[in-house]
Amino acid sequence: MINIKIKKPIEPILIGKVGKSYGILGWMNVFSFTEKEENIFTYIPWFFLKEKIFTQVQVKNWKRYKKNFIIYIDTISDRSTAKKFTNSNIIISRHQLPLLQNNEYYWNDIISYKVFNINKIYLGIVIDLIRTKDNDILVVRHVFKKLKKNIFIPFIEQTIIQKIDSKYKYIIVRWN
């Protein structure tokens, strides 16, 4: 059997972030960005990305801690080594994600989609999505860049979000 170590992910996808170290044995806090938080552990291998450098890691153990998780990486056994990865992004290769059905999409796919209201007026381009307790928020860079204000549109499908077209990369919203 050939064991090939990948140096960096193919089509990188952000799925979480490393927090501060936990304890003296190299455990680290982790914040999951996956819809079901525990799913972050189904996507292996992980890469830590910090200062444009990818480091492939293998999670040896993990447990729920307060509202997030703590993890133990097989090559990190002390607090000072763990601290080096604080604030690293957790990245995977896109091919690790489940295949989508028609009319399904991942959040990072709709970044850069054009946004139009139901009157076909161009509002701007999607630059981010924010998860909140009540509903998610679509962050759109306003068409008039001089305003330097983003538009925050509640991501409520069929009420405000009327259509997401993955083929032509646009979103229709009920918004003025």
**How many of the other CB atoms lie within 10 Å of CB of 88?**
23
pTM for the model = 0.75
C-alpha span between 15 and 33 (Å, rounded): 5
**Three-state secondary structure readout of 19-31:** EEEECCCCEEEEE
- Assess whether the previous peptide bond of 45 is cis (omega < 30° from 0): yes
Domains detected in the chain: 12-96 (2.40.30.60), 107-173 (2.30.30.240)
C-alpha span between 128 and 12 (Å, rounded): 17
| Tens of each residue's pLDDT in the chain, 176 residues | 555 566 889 999 999 999 999 999 999 999 998 888 999 999 989 999 999 999 999 999 999 998 899 999 989 999 999 999 999 999 999 999 888 887 778 888 898 999 999 999 999 999 988 888 888 899 999 877 666 789 999 999 989 999 999 889 999 999 98
**How many of the other CB atoms lie within 10 Å of CB of 151?**
20
